[in-house]
Amino acid sequence: MPLSPRPAALLPLCLLCLQAALPPRRPRYAGILISDLQKAIENETGQRASRHRRSLPAYNYEVYHSLEEIEEWMYYLNKTHSDLVHMFSVGKSYEGRPLYVLKLGKRSRPYKKAVWIDCGIHAREWIGPAFCQWFVKEALQTYQTDPAMKKMLTQLYFYVMPVFNVDGYHYSWTNDRFWRKTRSKNSRFWCHGVDANRNWKVKWCDEGASLHPCDDTYCGPFPESEPEVKAVAHFLRKHRKQIKAYLSFHAYAQMLLYPYSYKYATIPNFSCVESAAYNAVNALQSAYGVRYRYGPASSTLYVSSGSSMDWAYKNGIPYAFAFELRDTGHFGFLLPETLIRPTCTETMLAVKNITFHLLKKCH
């Protein structure tokens, strides 16, 4: 059933609330970006409440979907596209929800290299899960007509996790649109959740992460304390010889980032990764003229420790990227549904470009 709009009392009504909802250390913008924040959220929730739920064959990729809708969509694809799709779970969340992944690719031979794609590590960044769904749609719809897509799905497997932080994403739909973290409980504090992108075992809880459970960048009581992080890390470790690229989708800033996040240093395979990033942002810009900055996360965005991208790279995955999708702050986390199509269309060009760079075997 579609969800009703949140009660007005639960919405952030002041400037301090809006600032608290912003990601840490992002650039501050002069002037008023959203003149009426509450109205913007009410418009978004109102559209969802009034939207008639379409049948799965006519699934609308240009609107945001609840966790329940996304899971039903995954079940449907697993049933109707069994030649290219295999759905499985890597574990369960803190609140007991399954952590579903779609494995895309032609079963042409027993062993193939793979690309991991995850979206929604941070709950409020809804454009991430929207892109993961868009990627799957494009893969299935163009496999027979696009030689590039056919080559991708023939030579590689893609592991796509549409919603990493399932508990937090559900909570952002039902209680707090600006919720970022997981929903685990802390025994000493009333505050819930851990930043799932500060909880990985790579310079854990160093610069750019917080030890306080009430902070948005709380690193957790120990590395991989969150069952979501532990489950994905276990899967990636188990398949690290197969997985050659790790792509994680966030919002917002319009950036394509690569390691390191936790320090100012050059990665060993810098020339290959830098070349892939340069070509990817150029491909992305060719669609609508939207410019993305690219470079090491520490110097391009900010220093942060315990990130999934750094962990993937440190664990032997040579191409590790984090996308910060549209926009640069005007809409922020409330990116309108009208911008889903252009955002996903241009991002798709970048992902395909990175994939073909990977197939060229740059060393």
For residue 59, give the amino acid letter.
Answer: Y
DSSP, collapsed to helix, strand or coil, labels residue 309 as helix
d(CA 354, CA 247): 10
Burial of 211 (0-12, 13-18, 19+ CB in 10 A): exposed
For 185, which DSSP code? B
Beta strands at 85-92 and 98-104: parallel, antiparallel or unpaired: antiparallel
- 35 is written with which tokens? 């003149």
Burial of 78 (0-12, 13-18, 19+ CB in 10 A): middle
- CB-based contact 167:95 (threshold 8 Å): yes
Query: Which one is catalytic: 69, 71, 125, 324?
Result: 324
* Other Cβ atoms within 10 Å of 54 Cβ, number: 11
Half-sphere exposure of 296 (CA within 13 A, CB side): 19
Nearest partner of 181 among 172, 71, 146, 354, judged by Cα: 172
Query: Residue 283 — φ and ψ, nearest 5°?
Result: -65, -45
Query: Residue 350 — φ and ψ, nearest 5°?
Result: -65, -45
Q: Quick check: is 324 catalytic?
A: yes
Tell me the H-state helices in 87-212: 127-142, 147-155, 166-174
Tell me which residues are annotated as active site.
324
